[in-house]
Every structure is written in C-alpha cells, then in structure tokens.
Amino acid sequence: MSARPIRSEIDELTALARPVAAVADLDPLVERIGDARFVLIGEASHGTSDFYRWRAELTKRLIVERGFGFVAVEGDWPDCFEVNCWLKNHSRSGGDHAREVLRRFERWPTWMWANDEVADFIDWLRNHNGRQGSQIGFYGLDVYSLWESIDRILRYLHDQHSDAVASAGQALACFEPYGQDPQQYAWSTRFVPEGCESAVIDLLSDIRSRAPAGLGSEADFDALQNAEVLAGAERYYRTMIRGDRESWNIRDCHMADTLDRLIAHHGPASKAIVWEHNTHVGDARATDMAAAGMVNVGQLVRERHAADGVVLVGFSSYEGSVIAAPRWGAPLRRMPVPSAPPDSHEALLHEVRPGATDPLLLVFPDRRDAGWLAARRGHRAIGVVYDPGRDSHGNWVPTVIGGRYDALLHIDRSEALHPLSPAPEIRGREEETYPWAV
C-alpha cells in the first residue's frame, strides 16, 4: 500500500468529489451511466444502512429514468424468486408488505436481505409495478441453495413433467445421506471426489432439454435456474474442501453466468442492475485478487459486455457502525467500525470534508492513469463475520481505485443496518474460502 495521505491527492479528490445531500445530487452518476446496459452497485459491508439506502435510491432512478428491468442481488435464487413473484403479484405466499415476505429468508446471514432498508425498496418496487403496469423483477445470483433448489425442481416436475420426477429423485437420493448439511457433503468428496456430480448433470441435461425455446415463462425459467444452481452448488461444495481459490471462482462465474441467463430471459432490450459486495462488483484486476488467480463478477461483466456499456459503482466509509457476526452462524451484533488507517483510500476521502455528514460522490474521468485514481492503497471490506479489534488484519484490500470502479460513493460516518428480527441465527452458510468473507 502507499504511504500516508499526500496533499496533491487530497487536492485531486477535493476537485473531483461532490456532496450528496439529496437524491437529485446523484445526477452526475445517472448521466455517467447513460445508456449502459449493466450497472453493478457495491457495498463495503453487508451490514451498513447507508450503503443499502443510497444503492436503493440510485436503483429507483435507473428504473424510472433509464428503463432498467430487473435487480439481481447477492442472494439465494429460491428466496429471491419468491420476492420476485410477490413483486409481480403472483406469489404463492403473498402478504401486504415486503417485510412479511423477507422474514421468510432463513439462511444465515438473514440480515443481508431481511432488513428495513431492503423492505422499503421492495415495497416501493411493488407499488411501482402496480402503478406502471410493469414487471420489474428481483432475482438472486448466488450458488448456495442446493437443497432448496432440489425441492423447487421436484415441485416443478411434479406439476409440469411428471415423467421426469425419477431423474430428480436420483439426485435427491444422492444428497439425502448428508442431512441437508453442505459441509458433510463437501467432506465426503475427499473420499469419493466425483460425489453427486453425475446425478446432477443428468438432471440439468433433462431440464435443459425440456426448456421451451425463446424467452419462456417465469416458472420454466425458475426450474431451469434451480437446476443450474444445483449444478453450481454441487461443484462449489466439492471444491471448497480443498481450501484453494477455485471455489471463489466457481461462485463468481456462476453469478456472472446467472446474470447472462437473466439478460437472455428478459430479451435483447433488457438492462440489469446488480447489488453485491464491493469484492464482487469491483474489478478484481485492480486488486490483489488477480495475483491470487481469482476473478469476480465485475471483471467478468466488463470482459463479456464492454460493448453494451458497463458501469461499476463502489461504496466506502471512514468509520461508523455495522451489523455483523463474531463467528460463522452466530447471532448478529451491532459493532463499531474504527477510523480508517492513514494509508487507506478512506483516510484520504475523510480529509476532503472532515466532519461533513453528507456523502461524497466521485464520478471518475475517462483517464485514470495518474494521481489518486492510479495509486494502490487499502480499501475497507467488511464481511458477514467481523472483529472490530482486528480491523487492520485482513479487512483492507490493496486497490487501484480508478481501475476497480467507475464511480464511488463515500460515507464518512456510516450507520448500521436495521434487521427485521434480532432473533438468533440458526442455519449457517459455509465459510468463504477468501478471507474477506463476503
């Protein structure tokens, strides 16, 4: 990382940064996005209210003013698809308010999506769909929902293709000995490396062969995507036990592939907004991830869709509070976020308007090969597991900020997210193979 903040970089930031006191102050970013087809919006933690609220406000403007057709998030496909159905007023399990739907999220960490900030946005989106007669969707990109996806596939085949239930039953039977515990399945593949791979591939091939040509219905697409999740999850759990970086790449490639399938499903004029952690959204080539042989969603979308227009938006904060857990599967806590160290991007941003309460918006120029935009400094990344006392150990990603994003929204003092329920977490997500745990 670079040395302490230097005057020339602070002057550069002062000229570039604009205070954001109201939603209208996002105008320069909306103008920068223009006709881009893909906008990926990050967060520096999964537990910060400011990131979620400003991300939602930007998303609303993109839907209303720029014609974006769906939001894809770092969440499980089955849970998010229930939200999607509710938004479009054809959910099997409805309710009058988004909070009723979001409380059904069961996989740890539930607070990522079952929180007041997301509920407010989902309520807005349902009302928008109703007023405009539109079908703006909400989908999950992640790979974790192995058992939930099998269950969805079985239900779909029972209703639509009863002759194919047997192939799904074979896949289910292969996983049943592990009691819906992905860790047990992962450990078992040390002795039988192929695991349930062949049964999953057979099921995926069967469902693909039955998928209708063209755009198809949401129900058909849901079944196909659950089969893709099942295949991705099986491969992810089979590789994660080796403790290398391959499982990270499997997960991010799955999320980028899911985004491509969503774009194809919505048609050639469709436009996508992605909500994920900075570590997935910001281009990996501008961090130390590249040297470790890792890719991420932001890099893959830039590589695949540069001609369609891709804008990556990051978030940062100097200090504040956050919702996180002290260990995997533990109950959530409201934790302090200490002041950023002097050799970080956040420390430089703090010097621009110290003591100011409004966020700062920085929309980067086309040329980014000098000064602050080209300097490699630490950039904070808080995962679902966090220890404020060890913030300086593993929570700072060496980053060339101008290569990682196209714009940045900085919150000098951030506030913790507001979960819908403070109840203890029960069902745990597996520990990531990357130390930032995002």
Q: What is the DSSP string of 291-355?
A: GGT---HHHHHHHHHGGG-EEEEEEEEEEEEEEEBSSTTPPPEEEEEPPPPTTBHHHHHHHHSTT
Instruction: Assess whether 237 and 311 both reside in one domain.
Output: no
Give the residue among 64, 68, 57 at the shortest CA–CA distance from 21. 57
Instruction: Assess whether 176 and 219 both reside in one domain.
Output: yes
Please report whether residue 88 resides in a domain.
no
pLDDT the model gives residue 2: 47
pLDDT the model gives residue 312: 99
Strand pairing report for 38-41 and 310-324? parallel
pLDDT the model gives residue 316: 98
Query: For the chain, what is the domain count?
Result: 2
Instruction: Assess whether 155 and 236 both reside in one domain.
Output: yes
CATH code for the domain in which residue 397 is found: 3.40.1660.10
Please report whether residue 432 resides in a domain.
no
Instruction: Assess whether 368 and 290 both reside in one domain.
Output: yes
Instruction: Assess whether 164 and 295 both reside in one domain.
Output: no
Please report whether residue 369 resides in a domain.
yes
Please report whether residue 177 resides in a domain.
yes
Instruction: Assess whether 223 and 291 both reside in one domain.
Output: no
Please report whether residue 124 resides in a domain.
no
Please report whether residue 257 resides in a domain.
no
Query: Residue 320: is it exposed, middle or buried by C-beta count within 10 angstroms (0-12/13-18/19+)?
Result: buried
pLDDT the model gives residue 213: 62
pLDDT truncated to tens, each residue of the chain (438 aa)? 444 557 889 999 999 999 999 999 999 999 999 999 999 999 999 999 999 999 999 999 999 999 999 999 999 999 999 999 999 986 555 678 999 999 999 889 999 999 999 999 999 999 999 999 999 999 999 999 988 998 888 888 888 888 777 777 788 788 888 877 777 877 777 656 667 888 888 888 888 887 776 567 888 899 999 999 999 998 898 888 776 689 999 999 999 999 999 999 999 999 999 999 999 999 999 999 999 999 999 999 999 999 999 999 999 999 999 999 999 889 999 999 999 999 999 999 999 987 778 999 999 999 999 999 999 999 999 999 999 999 988 899 999 999 999 999 999 999 999 999 764 444 444 444 334 456
pLDDT the model gives residue 93: 58
Instruction: Assess whether 283 and 399 both reside in one domain.
Output: yes
* Integer Cα distance of 25 and 18 in angstroms: 8
Give the residue among 81, 89, 135 at the shortest CA–CA distance from 105. 81
Domain residue limits at 342: 7-76+274-414
- Residue by residue, DSSP assigns 39-73 as EEE--S-SSBHHHHHHHHHHHHHHHHHH---EEEE
Instruction: Assess whether 372 and 278 both reside in one domain.
Output: yes
Instruction: Assess whether 228 and 312 both reside in one domain.
Output: no
Instruction: Assess whether 50 and 154 both reside in one domain.
Output: no
Q: What is the pTM of this model?
A: 0.92
Name the DSSP letter for residue 420: S
Please report whether residue 219 resides in a domain.
yes
pLDDT the model gives residue 423: 47
Tokens at 260, concatenated: 């491509």
Instruction: Assess whether 282 and 387 both reside in one domain.
Output: yes
pLDDT the model gives residue 433: 39
Non-local (6+) Cβ contacts of 24 within 8 A are none
Query: Residue 393: is it exposed, middle or buried by C-beta count within 10 angstroms (0-12/13-18/19+)?
Result: exposed
pLDDT the model gives residue 357: 85
Residue 41, phi then psi, degrees to nearest 5: -115, 125
Please report whether residue 265 resides in a domain.
no
pLDDT the model gives residue 430: 45
Instruction: Assess whether 340 and 380 both reside in one domain.
Output: yes
